[in-house]
Structure 1
Amino acid sequence: MLELYQFELSQYSEKVRFLLDYKGLEYRKIEVTPGVGQVEVFQMSGQRQVPVLKDGETVVADSTEIAMYLDRTYPDRPLVPSSAKERGLSLMMEEWADESIGIKSRKAFIGALNRNEALRAAVLPPDTPDFVKSIVSGIPSDLLETIGSGVGVGGEALKAAEGSLKQDLDALCLILGEQPYLTGNTPTLADFSVAGLSLLLKFPEKSFLDLPEQLAGKALPGIGDNPAYEAFFNWRDRLYNDYRQATVSTSSTSASAPSSIEIE
């Protein structure tokens, strides 16, 4: 069976999970412990980042390389179209999503972490000791905002990332207003990349991910809960329902408006 070395809340891991589910491939998720667990990943793949896919003796790192490997090795339900125009659009949009949606949404989420003490504790692994959660949630928000500004995830840099994300979502809504998928009438690598990489803007329902209860369905304030981007998130919800393998049986997806991340 395929093995996916991952972080559950990693957007790039979610992108690969989308690809595996779309192709109907069975796989086992192996959660990597930050720090210690990344040493094993480095020994196996030569780098510390996830996702890493292990297929027998073959080890593939990087979500884009994994996508290309899956299409070569498991050609059923191809991710990249065969027609020249759609193939070019799909590959170009996948690379854009990695560098735009992926990076900027991570900055926006870090900004939310800095401002929300309870959210910091909520995203820690379930087995994290209470005293560690207390330490993490007790760090003053002002201090984190100052540190964030110094490393490009706070202040003006954060505002710029959030503004650029909104422009990206406007563009995606315009495209999806004319066609069911980003490059045409069938889903491609572009769709699953954008959908997976938007994970931190609005969390899906818990049935698709091993999420803390308080995060399921929650949205990043001003972005994931913004009515202007409802068309995008409705499209993404449709992709989840059609192509992501639910891990927990559930009733139909709630039609209520997304609520902002406000952890009590």
Structure 2
Amino acid sequence: MLELYQFELSQFSEKVRLILDFKGLEYKKVEVTPGIGQLEVFKISGQRQVPVLKDGDTVISDSTEIAMYLDRKYPEKPLIPTDAVARGQCLLMEEWADESLGLKGRKTFLGALNQYQNFRTSFLPSDTPDLLKNIVGSIPGDILGAIGNDMYKDAQRGLKQDLEALCLILQNQPYLVGDEPTLADLTVAALSTIIKFPEVAYYDLPMDVTGKGIPGLADNSAYEPFFEWRDRLYAQYRQPLDNSNRGNGSSNGDDKPTSIEIE
């Protein structure tokens, strides 16, 4: 079985999970412990970042490289169009999403945690004692200072422009490139979850993230057409979390997530 070394909250791990579900491939999630667990990832892949996919003796790192490998090895339900123009558009949009949408989403999410106390406490684990919630909630905003807030505001402005552009592209067509979903659609959809998490549980986390999102973006009606499109794509292709087996960390509910141990 395919093994995905990942962080559950990683946008780029989610990108690979969505691609695997889109292709109907079974896989086991291996939850990497930040720090010490990344040493084991380095041993098998030569770098410490996730996601990393292991297919038998083959090890692939980087979400784009994983997508290309899966499309070659498992060509059913292709990710890349065959038409030259559509192929070029797909690859350009996937690269843009990785380098722009994904990074700005992460910066804005972290900035919102700093800026908004209620947003910060909403992402604490569900079993967090009330005393600790009150302590975390009482930390004043702007704890990152002017530099951190400037980065947050710049990223947020960029995301507003990106979301507006995506709404315009999808206004009169079902997908970002052509009439069938491609790698561009799956990448944009997955990387946008950190801006506004879907209403259905797809992330296996100790806190409930369903429906939560970055203030000013997730609750802005101007971007609702994009999020509705994203959630329809998810409903069609992404396997929702089985709440009866929550915490099992597997796409089919058979295996528990594994924290890597160093020998």
* TM-score w.r.t. length of structure 2: 0.84
Q: Does 1:246 align with 2:240?
A: yes
Which structure has more relative contact order (CA 8 Å, sep 6+)? It is 2
**Deviation readout 1:70-115 (Å, 9 max, x if unpaired):** 0111111110011101100000000000011100010000011112
Q: Do the aligned partners of 1:41 and 1:48 also contact (CA within 8 Å) in 2?
A: yes
**Deviation readout 1:34-74 (Å, 9 max, x if unpaired):** 11211111111111111110111111000000000001111
The letter of the residue matching 1:54 is K
The letter of the residue matching 2:90 is S
Q: Distance in 1 between matches of 2:116 and 2:38?
A: 27
Aligned position for 1:217 = 211
Q: Do the aligned partners of 1:6 and 1:29 also contact (CA within 8 Å) in 2?
A: yes
- Return 5+ residue gaps in structure 2 as ranges: 245-263
| SS of residue paired to 2:201 | helix
The letter of the residue matching 1:207 is A
Q: Distance in 2 between matches of 1:124 and 1:53?
A: 29
Q: Does 1:182 align with 2:173?
A: no
| SS of residue paired to 2:104 | helix
Tell me how many residue pairs correspond in the alignment.
244
Deviation at 1:138, TM superposition (A): 6.9
Deviation at 1:218, TM superposition (A): 1.0
Q: Do the aligned partners of 1:2 and 1:54 also contact (CA within 8 Å) in 2?
A: yes
Q: Does 1:113 align with 2:107?
A: no
5 Å-filtered alignment, 1:80-159, equals: 80-117=80-117, 119-120=119-120, 123=123, 137=136, 140-142=139-141, 144-146=143-145, 149-150=146-147, 154-159=148-153
Deviation at 1:136, TM superposition (A): 8.8
- Return 5+ residue gaps in structure 1 as ranges: 251-264
Deviation at 1:211, TM superposition (A): 3.6
Q: Distance in 1 between matches of 2:4 and 2:216?
A: 33
